[in-house]
Amino acid sequence: MRDVLHFIDGTWSRSVSGRTYDNRSPWSGELIGRVAAGDEEDTRRAIDAAHTAFAQWSQASPAQRQTILLRAADILDGSRDNALESLALETGCGSQFGRIQVDFAVNLLRQAAQLAYRPVGELLASDIPGTQAMAIRRPVGVVGAIAPWNASLTLSGRAIIGPIALGNTVVLKPSEESPFTGGAIWAEILLEAGLPRGVLNVVTHAPGEAGVIADALLDSRRVKRINFTGSTPTGRRLAEKAGSRLKRVVLQLSGQNPMIVAEDADVGYAVEAATYGSFLHQGQLCMCARRIYVARPVADEFLTKFAAKVATLPTGDPTDPTTVVGPVINEWALATLERRVKQAVDAGARVLVGGEAAPPCYPATVLVDVPPDTELAEGETFGPIVTVEIVESAEQAVELANRSDLGLVASIISRDVPRALRLAARLEVGIVHVNDQTVNDEPQMPFGGVKDTGWGRFGIGVAAEEFTELQWLTARDQDRAFPF
């Protein structure tokens, strides 16, 4: 990898201030490169470039947009080995989740290419003789995109590709933990694919300075939409500021995701699903299972087999293809995991597997008897830690799951699919998977949650609802008589 610069108006540039920060590997701590540390001035330059580019890009032909996106998909597909290496080096992403990210991003580009040819409106029935009425969708203008580090390639792609395909221009702020795989890599790909200058702009920032960039996006009248993926506390602050400016936002925030193992579940399958859904990418995904509710008739068998399976998961170097649990993203994250497990144990929880840090990793960890007032029970713990609770029935599990303020995704493992679907209808979440684990996403699906997990939906299938304005348009083919 190399140094990362801003990408503004089709050109790589340093920060106006000249400042940089060090980008280091979470596994080895080695210096990967230096990154431009942007501020309000760099963000304003990016917004101005996006605003200027919008006039032409919004009028680009469907064929032009489609060709660029399909070409970008081929470029990424052809350079997947480099992308996988970069993901491992910059974010500690193992090969399994790395391949998932690349595949998703390639499919995202190919599916977004058809947005250029989607219907842009509909004819409306009017009771006024001689009036033709239409509802027309138009691109909104400049979109501010704020993406996290944990699935840097896919979540930054999700933040920018739909808006661009619909004729908008974008200013992307990647996380300081993933300036290349969450930002510069997309600029490189789309530049090579022929995207006109100014359509995508990327502004990076130093640790602790994300708010400077976000505030500049919120304050600018030229930025018409904001999309954000990240924690609920940060999303709440962003939404409050956006509300005072009457600026629409799409928010996909924290998840405290339940997995329900019903009385009639295939226990062996449930163990395999729970292991994958809890510990993929060392649990650093908003979709990961955080709480497993197991019906009492199968609880002993599940706990025995689950603990045995989790204890075998290899931990270590993310470039090793056998590694399942790699490093957590930074020292602060590792300290948070240690503190929350200790707090739960001090309050009476029991550790079945794991529970002892092996810096820079934290091993796959399973706890039971976790008190409901601990941080592990109440909020999202972003790491390879899952809690298991024995319940009397799947119905009770639904009641307990719904007590959470968060509502992203849930899963139900049961041989009785009609019953599972009835239970799914009662779960207060945006996504439910029956007979699968919680980590699922496809570019065309409406991804998002309810309650404190945010509002709006990501996904190519619903992108037009989030990133276009609906205009009511009428035209008359004859003069109208007015009463005065």
What beta strand segments (E) does 140-216 contain?
A: 142-146, 169-173, 200-202
What pLDDT score was predicted for residue 408?
Answer: 97
Residue from 203, 140, 142, 138 nearest 175 by CA: 203
Average pLDDT over the chain reads 96
In the chain, % of residues over pLDDT 70:
100
| Alpha-helical regions (H) of 58-178 | 62-78, 80-91, 95-112, 152-165
Give the pLDDT band (50/70/90) at residue 2: confident
End-to-end CA distance of the chain: 72
Residue 119 pLDDT? 80
At 79, is the pLDDT very low, low, confident or very high (cuts 50, 70, 90)? very high
Question: What's the pLDDT score for residue 340?
Answer: 97
pLDDT on residue 378: 87
Burial of 219 by CB count in 10 Å (0-12 exposed, 13-18 middle, 19+ buried)? middle
Would you give the DSSP letter of residue 121? E
pLDDT tens profile 209-222: 999 999 999 999 99
- pLDDT reported for residue 1: 65
Q: Is the pLDDT of residue 146 over 70?
A: yes
- The confidence score (pLDDT) of residue 71 equals 98
Dihedral-angle region of residue 81 (phi above 0 means left; psi in -120 to 50 means alpha; beta otherwise): alpha
Averaged pLDDT for residues 120-124? 92
Cα 117 from chain centre: 26
Tell me the per-residue pLDDT of 371-396, one tens digit each, with 9 for 90 and over: 999 999 988 999 999 999 999 999 99
Residue 399 is encoded by which pair of tokens?
Answer: 């009641």
Q: Is 484 exposed, middle or buried (0-12, 13-18, 19+ CB in 10 A)?
A: exposed
Lookup: tokens for 447: 């991804």
- Euclidean distance between CA atoms 63 and 60, whole angstroms: 8
Rounded mean pLDDT, 9-38 = 97
Q: Please state, for a pLDDT cut of 90, what percent of the chain lies above it.
A: 96
Q: Span 168-187, mean pLDDT? A: 98
Cα-to-chain-centroid distance, residue 66 = 24
Higher pLDDT, residue 118 or 417: 417
If you search the block for the tokens 């990793």, which residue do you land on? Answer: 361
pLDDT grade for 478, boundaries at 50, 70 and 90: confident
Which has the closest alpha carbon to 313: 271, 351, 270, 268? 271
> pLDDT digit string (tens) for 430-462?
999 999 999 999 999 999 999 999 999 999 999
Residue 160, token pair as written in the block: 């920018």
Distance CA 364, CA 312 (A): 9
Which of helix, strand or coil describes residue 483? coil
Report the C-alpha gap between 324 and 268 in whole angstroms.
20
| Whole-number pLDDT of residue 58 | 97
Q: What is the pLDDT of residue 379?
A: 87
pLDDT of residue 481: 87
Average pLDDT, integer, range 336-355: 97
Task: At 43, list the tokens.
Answer: 């963000």
256-300: per-residue pLDDT in tens?
Answer: 999 999 999 999 999 999 999 999 999 999 999 999 999 999 999
pLDDT at residue 120, as a whole number: 86
pLDDT at 304 over 80: yes
Q: Confirm if 170 and 164 have CB atoms less than 8 A apart.
A: yes
| pLDDT confidence bin for 249, thresholds 50/70/90 | very high
